[in-house]
Every structure is written in C-alpha cells, then in structure tokens.
Amino acid sequence: MDILIISKYILIIAFMIMMIAALRASAYKTTSMGLLGSSVVVVAFAMALLVCGEMYNLTFYRDISLALIFFGFVGTVAFAVVAGGDK
C-alpha cells in the first residue's frame, strides 16, 4: 500500500478524533466554548471532506470545503460579535 494513502487515512482518523474532542469541548458551560467547539467541528469536517475528495476523486469537494470554511468563519465571527455585546 502506498505511503501517501496510509498517511491520508491516518489524517482522516485524526480529524475524527478532533471532531469528537471538539463536540465534548462545546458542551462546557460558557457560550464561547460552544462557539469554539462548533467552529472546530466545521473545520475538521471540511478538512476530512478535502482528504476524502482527494482520495476518491469526488467532484466539487474543494468547493464544498471552501464554502464550509468560509461560511463557518463568517458565522463564528457574527455570533461572537453578538455574544460580546455592543459596549
């Protein structure tokens, strides 16, 4: 088996572990931790999608992961501005 394929599988497993850890972290009591955990979950999912699309030659995977990363950023910043208050 090619070493590149093996490293991609290892990376996908690492992203799965990170998603579970971020889900646990998002359950902590402050709102900011929920925001942080959800943003990490979105980025980890986009990265896993990027690796899977590279492996199986999926179409549009790059566009979908770009959209997830970009709109995840926009949503996180918007919620952070609302949560911080207007003062």
Partner 1 sequence: MIVEYIQSALLIIAAFLVIVSAVGLLSLSKDMKNAVYGRIHIVGIFDIACIIAMIGLGQYLLAGIYFIIAPFTAHAIANAFYKGEDVENNAKLGEIEEDDVDDSNPFIVPRSKVQELENEDSEKLKTDDRFTISTLDIVEEE
Contact set with partner 1 (CB under 8 A): 2-4, 6-8, 10-11, 13-15, 17-18, 20-22, 24-25, 28, 30-33, 35-36, 39-40, 43-44, 47, 50-51, 54, 62, 65-66, 69-70, 73, 76-77, 79-81, 83-85, 87
Least distance (Å) from partner 1 to the CB of residue 55? 10
Q: In Å, how far from its chain's centre is CA 54?
A: 17
Least distance (Å) from partner 1 to the CB of residue 65? 7
Least distance (Å) from partner 1 to the CB of residue 22? 7
The length of the chain, given as a count of residues? 87
Nearest to 67 by CA among 48, 85, 42: 42
Q: How many helices (H) and strands (E) does the chain have?
A: 3, 0
Give the C-alpha separation, 25 to 29, whole Å.
Answer: 9
